[in-house]
Amino acid sequence: MTETQGNRYTLEVLDNGVVSFRHAQTGEILHGSVGPEKEATELYIDASGLGKCGKSEVVVFDVGTGCGAQLMALLDFLKISQSIQEIHVYSFDLEKEGLRAALEARKQFASVERNHLFLEKALLESSFTWKCGENKNFHWNFIGGDFRETIRSLLEKEPQLRADFIFYDFFSPASHPWLWTFDLFENLHAYCKETTHLVTYSSATCVKAALVAAGWFVGTTIPSGKKAQSIFAAGSRGEVAHLLPIKFISTFSLSHKPFCEAETSESQIEIRKRLLAHTQFKES
């Protein structure tokens, strides 16, 4: 797939009976073997710590909106949350074809069926507020286009913007390596606070290394449809329950793929240098 091509999706019934989406151009199955609703709830809502943050208002970056699984989970979460009253969601994707596919398949997914009116509006508008019960507001902003450009331009428009939670759910590093690079994670770090949590389904060594090099404190959380644990990162050491141990340096050095394929020779040198110098691997 070329970097400028749009996205198309088809429904896929997996061998275990789970219904998900297949990315038509690459053949990649979205959300692995667990399906969109289970991954969105267990990994991005629960494992991110969203329900335990204790805030009444949060900002969420929905990076790689795809077919809207995280959006649906966030809407359902806000409806039942005892503490959060306002969620500001910034959804990043090339376009809205995934949301269109989800709406067309609404009968296959209970979360989409519950929230289909939101999706209908989302296909027509890119910035609006959705009521989720009395005194609860879901503020949605769709940031369409190449993420390498939009993540920088948003900061120019809103220099004070900071994210409480980042759900990083782009296509895999294998099929879309340009969306998993050190410079992108460094750009994301500009929106980071000490208490910011970033969660992604990936468990790749190259992604962990790029995140650490970009300034994040990186650890692991629950696996998502695979044996390896997914990645959890934060703006400070104390926010990560299961930090990568110092032996990760050896894992990185011995890895057959320590860098994402899209990394330049200059960024590879920088990653290696910053990884070795990061305070995460120093005695606390």
Q: Which two tokens stand for residue 159?
A: 């220099």
pLDDT of amino acid 284: 55
Say if residue 229 is exposed, middle or buried (CB neighbours under 10 Å; 0-12, 13-18, 19+). Answer: middle
Q: What is the mean pLDDT of the chain?
A: 92
Is 2 a residue whose pLDDT tops 60? no
Close Cβ partners of 88 (under 8 Å, ≥ 6 residues apart):
57, 58, 59, 60, 139, 141
Is 206 a residue whose pLDDT tops 90? yes
Domain architecture of the chain: domains with CATH: 33-281 (3.40.50.150)
Global pTM reads 0.94
Q: What tens digit of pLDDT does each residue of 113-148 get? A: 999 999 999 999 999 999 998 899 999 999 999 999
pLDDT of amino acid 24: 75
Could you tell me what percent of the chain has a pLDDT over 90? 77
Say if residues 86 and 191 touch (Cβ distance below 8 Å).
Answer: no
Mean pLDDT of 205-226: 94
Is 101 a residue whose pLDDT tops 70? yes
Q: What tens digit of pLDDT does each residue of 18-61 get? A: 778 877 787 777 777 777 888 899 999 999 999 999 899 999 99
Categorize the per-residue pLDDT at 167 as very low, low, confident or very high, splitting at 50, 70 and 90: very high
pLDDT of amino acid 18: 78
pLDDT of amino acid 79: 94
Question: CA 278, 281, 283, 284: dihedral to nearest 10 degrees?
Answer: 70
Q: Which two tokens stand for residue 221?
A: 């959380």
The CA distance from 32 to 136, in Å, is 32
Could you tell me what percent of the chain has a pLDDT over 70? 97
Say if residues 41 and 73 touch (Cβ distance below 8 Å).
Answer: yes
| Among the listed residues 216, 219, 239, the one whose alpha carbon sits nearest the alpha carbon of residue 229 | 219
Half-sphere exposure of residue 181: CA atoms within 13 angstroms, side-chain side:
19
Is 283 a residue whose pLDDT tops 80? no
Kindly write down the DSSP assignment for every residue of the chain, as one continuous string.
--TT----EEEEE-TTS-EEEEETTT-PBTTTTT-HHHHIIIIIIIITTGGGS--SEEEEEEES-TTSHHHHHHHHHHHH-SS--EEEEEEEES-SHHHHHHHHTGGG-HHHHHTHHHHHHHHH-SEEEEE-STT-EEEEEEEES-HHHHHHHHHHH-TT--EEEEEE-PSPTTT-GGGS-HHHHHHHHTTEEEEEEEEES---HHHHHHHHHTT-EEEE---SSSSSPPEEEESSGGG-SSBPPTTHHHHHHH-S--S-TT--HHHHHHHHHHHHH-GGGS--
